[in-house]
């Protein structure tokens, strides 16, 4: 693995760990695609640091479980703003 990729994986993982960010949020901060962040966290990180990968996996699973709630809230807010 090239060093810049390894550094990106560790940087993104520490960002997600500190902020509990979603894949989309992390991608926006680091200027890469959601696919890249997902691949980094699920495929590359376990090869670098297994313990960190397990912590990140828990955060990503939590975010996935709650995404329908966030989407519903965003839609509700959108239509509420349109009515005001």
> Predicted confidence band at 37 (pLDDT cuts at 50, 70, 90)?
very high
Per-residue model confidence (pLDDT) at position 78: 86
Distance CA 35, CA 39 (A): 6
Mean pLDDT of 5-10: 97
| Cβ-contact 31, 59 below 8 angstroms | no
> What is the predicted pLDDT for the residue at 72?
78
Q: Report the alpha-carbon distance of residue 23 to residue 46 in Å, rounded.
A: 17
Tens digits of per-residue pLDDT, 38-69? 999 999 999 999 999 999 999 999 998 887 77
Please name the residue that has the structure tokens 């670098």.
48
The model's confidence at residue 18, banded by pLDDT at 50, 70 and 90, is very high
**Do the beta carbons of residue 8 and residue 40 sit within 8 Å?**
yes
Distance CA(12)–CA(18), nearest Å, equals 10
Residue 70, pLDDT score: 75
pLDDT value at 84 more than 80: no
Q: Which of 44, 73, 47, 41 is nearest to 59 (CA)?
A: 41
């Amino acid at each position: 693995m090239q060093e810049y990729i390894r550094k990106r994986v560790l940087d993104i993982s520490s960002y997600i760990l500190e902020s509990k960010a979603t894949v989309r949020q992390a991608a926006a901060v680091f200027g890469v695609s959601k696919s890249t962040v997902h691949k980094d966290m699920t495929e590359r990180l376990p090869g670098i640091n297994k313990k960190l990968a397990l912590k990140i996996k828990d955060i990503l699973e939590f975010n996935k479980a709650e995404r329908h709630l966030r989407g519903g809230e965003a839609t509700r807010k959108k239509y509420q703003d349109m009515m005001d």
